[in-house]
Amino acid sequence: MANYNDLAELIFPDIKETVEDLEKRYPKRNLPEGAMVTRFAPSPTGFLHTGSLFTSLVSSRFAKQSGGVFYIRLEDTDTKREIEGSGASLVTQLKKFGVILDEGYVSDSEEIGSYGPYKQSNRADIYKVCIKHLIKIGRAYPCFATQEELAELRRVQEANKEIPGYYGKYAKYRNLPIDEAIAKIKNGDSYIIRFKSMGDHNNKIAVHDEIKGDLELTENDQDIVILKGDGLPTYHFAHLVDDHFMRTTHVTRGEEWLSSLPIHLELFDTMGFERPKYAHLPVIMKVENGNRRKLSKRKDPEAATAFFLEQGYPKYGFIEYLLTLANSNYEAWREQNLDKDYFDFKLSFDKMGVDGALFDIEKVESISKERMAYRKAADLCEEVLAWANEYNKDFEKLILNDKKFFTEILNIEREKDKPRKDYAKYSDIYPIISFFFDSVYNDLDMSNLDYTVMVNKNEVKEVPHDIIKAFLNDYMASYNVDVTEEEWFENLKALALKYNFTSDRKAYKANPNDFNGQAGDCAGFIRLALAARKNTPNIYFVQRILGKNKVFERINRLINNL
């Protein structure tokens, strides 16, 4: 009579290594006490999801802040879903957001570290060593169930209102005599390998999650597939083998995996491997019509990190936002530590939300605005250039044409105590400042400008054009921006008064019809001349940057249109 050993040798004749050999090949890491080994394990199925960036960011921070190792493993065992080349592009994108691996998969031709290969399809033999071991100890077996048999099983379970799946009395091939299994294999019958569970779904097991704390989950009793027909393992089995032999200390992954934890724990225990610690991270959600749902690839552009790159949200704004999602005390820390790098913040599991994190684009905007305002103009210029190089070539050309000019524009009301917060993303800049460039300004339509001023909250009135003309001519005659902003504005007010625009708010409010408007309206006419619109960055600085000649050219152009 054949035994488990014979079965294992028949199935894996070429696998000579043992689990002990693997233990030696991938020894325990020599790291200081408390150093965490974490990983990000994406499947190469396309783009980088915002939720994946969040998970990888959190995983990498825990490793780095503890002096440990953060590695990337490519989980490409689902060959049907694979998109060519997306593995390497995931790594490149992560890098753009500052999530940088210490070790692991970089591209199909590059890996770092000695715990590899880091691409699962290159690890087939490693999985087989462990499966061979499980067969030898009677805890894994070939299953010959056909699609029809499995469909029939589902039908019976549904009819009997039983838990679906392949387990216990429903696990038809679980107790197939070894001789019969061997005969079937020799006969060429197709099969996959299943784990033989010893669990019982009537039992509860106590588990601990670093974020969610102590939990009770239903014990696993499913004889899950561990090796598929294509010779590659399923997620569950690859997780066991890889996280063990890559010596992961903390499995930080999305909470959709929490329900599989009992399977994983049974696998670890059966192999005699030490269990890693688990931290199931909140999933990023969105509120729609009052209901929460996961950020969806199909419905939400912001589900793809590419969206934030294209729009030009600064990395430091977006990452900081994700840190606020990760830890509830991040914002308070930031307020106390304005000068520090966001990566100086120490993440902790106990400050992590246990319910899904709600995605809030307005908050991304406000954090980005806040952070971008404090960038030095020269640094921001380089950031905008790098973005424009990829996403707005015309803008890039304009900047490169005169970088100093562009930096001066960026520096309007920047590099001071309370800088202006105009831009949340690089793509906000061009629409606000494009009028500075002659090539843009010259194409602006000046024929239909709005020459009205406010009378009160509900009413506006058109200022007679000859008054505007006279004011602007006079303004040019006494033009002087080589004084302080305050002096310039005082002069403007004096001139405005001459044309019956008051700077006495109360008087205007009481009797608006006694005046042509308020002094600020006169600054508005200068804006209209220089930019063909009423809102511009601080007009005093705009004039200083444009220079007298251009300012006059533009004012004259407006006058000719009046």
Residue 253 as a binder of ligand GLU (CB under 6 A): the answer is yes
The tokens for 550 are 């251009």
How many angstroms separate the CA atoms of 16 and 6, rounded?
Answer: 14
Residue whose entry in the numeric block shows the structure tokens 């569970």 = 197
Q: Which pairing describes strands 459-462 and 501-502: parallel, antiparallel, or unpaired?
A: unpaired
Smallest distance, ligand GLU to C-beta of residue 28, A: 21
Residue 305 as a binder of ligand GLU (CB under 6 A): the answer is no
Contact stretch for ligand GLU (CB under 6 A) within 20-28, 40-48, 324-332, 500-508? 40-48
For ligand GLU, which is the closer residue by CB, 76 or 221?
76
Cβ neighbours of residue 518 closer than 8 Å, sequence gap 6 or more: 453, 454, 496, 501, 502, 503, 505, 508
For ligand GLU, which is the closer residue by CB, 71 or 141?
71
Contact stretch for ligand GLU (CB under 6 A) within 38-46, 134-142, 295-303, 518-526? 38-46
How many angstroms separate the CA atoms of 362 and 355, rounded?
Answer: 20
Burial class (CB in 10 A: 0-12, 13-18, 19+), 304: buried
For ligand GLU, which is the closer residue by CB, 253 or 375?
253
Smallest distance, ligand GLU to C-beta of residue 25, A: 22
For ligand GLU, which is the closer residue by CB, 75 or 221?
75
For ligand GLU, which is the closer residue by CB, 43 or 197?
43
The tokens for 287 are 């509120």
Report DSSP letters for 201-237, one per residue. TT-EEEEEETTTEEEEEEPP-B--EEE-TTS-B-HHH
For residues 413 to 452, the per-residue mask of contacts with ligand GLU, x marking binding by CB under 6 A and - elsewhere, is: ----------------------------------------
For ligand GLU, which is the closer residue by CB, 239 or 527?
239
Amino acid identity at 51? G
Number of residues that bind ligand GLU (CB under 6 A): 7
Which of 12, 19, 43, 140 lies at the binding interface for ligand GLU (CB under 6 A)?
Answer: 43
For ligand GLU, which is the closer residue by CB, 42 or 356?
42
Smallest distance, ligand GLU to C-beta of residue 44, A: 10
For ligand GLU, which is the closer residue by CB, 153 or 325?
325
Q: Which of 209, 3, 21 lies closest to 129 in space, CA to CA?
A: 21
For ligand GLU, which is the closer residue by CB, 283 or 385?
283
Contact stretch for ligand GLU (CB under 6 A) within 41-49, 178-186, 515-523, 540-548? 41-49
Chain centre to alpha carbon of residue 17: 41
Helix pair angle (539-546, 485-498), 10° resolution = 100
Burial class (CB in 10 A: 0-12, 13-18, 19+), 379: exposed
Smallest distance, ligand GLU to C-beta of residue 52, A: 7
Smallest distance, ligand GLU to C-beta of residue 440, A: 45
Smallest distance, ligand GLU to C-beta of residue 64, A: 18
Q: How many residues does the chain have?
A: 562
Smallest distance, ligand GLU to C-beta of residue 238, A: 9
For residues 257 to 276, the per-residue mask of contacts with ligand GLU, x marking binding by CB under 6 A and - elsewhere, is: x-------------------
What Å distances lie between residue 467 and 88, 113, 444, 527, 554, CA to CA? 64, 75, 23, 16, 18
For residues 48 to 77, the per-residue mask of contacts with ligand GLU, x marking binding by CB under 6 A and - elsewhere, is: ---------------------------x--
Contact stretch for ligand GLU (CB under 6 A) within 35-43, 140-148, 448-456, 472-480? 35-43
Q: In what order do the strands lie in the sheet with 291-294?
A: 291-294, 284-288, 357-358
For residues 332 to 361, the per-residue mask of contacts with ligand GLU, x marking binding by CB under 6 A and - elsewhere, is: ------------------------------
The tokens for 149 are 């048999």
Cβ–Cβ under 8 Å, residues 207 and 33: no
Cβ–Cβ under 8 Å, residues 36 and 67: no
Q: Is 384 helix (H, G, I), strand (E, B) or coil?
A: helix
For residues 228 to 247, the per-residue mask of contacts with ligand GLU, x marking binding by CB under 6 A and - elsewhere, is: -----------x--------
For ligand GLU, which is the closer residue by CB, 280 or 375?
280
For ligand GLU, which is the closer residue by CB, 185 or 283?
283
Which of 12, 42, 105, 126 lies at the binding interface for ligand GLU (CB under 6 A)?
Answer: 42
Smallest distance, ligand GLU to C-beta of residue 58, A: 11
For ligand GLU, which is the closer residue by CB, 47 or 333?
47
Amino acid identity at 457? K
How many angstroms separate the CA atoms of 111 and 245, rounded?
Answer: 16
How many angstroms separate the CA atoms of 416 and 170, rounded?
Answer: 73
Reduced 3-state DSSP string for 344-376: HCCCCHHHCCCCCEECCHHHHHHHHHHHHHCCC
Cβ–Cβ under 8 Å, residues 144 and 190: yes
For ligand GLU, which is the closer residue by CB, 46 or 353?
46
For ligand GLU, which is the closer residue by CB, 278 or 435?
278
Contact stretch for ligand GLU (CB under 6 A) within 37-45, 96-104, 281-289, 435-443? 37-45
Residue 41 as a binder of ligand GLU (CB under 6 A): the answer is yes
What Å distances lie between residue 516 and 320, 440, 472, 511, CA to CA? 48, 32, 14, 11
Please give the residue whose beta carbon sits closest to ligand GLU in the complex.
253
Contact stretch for ligand GLU (CB under 6 A) within 36-44, 88-96, 194-202, 499-507? 36-44
Under the rule (CB under 6 A), what is the footprint of ligand GLU? 41-43, 75, 239, 253, 257
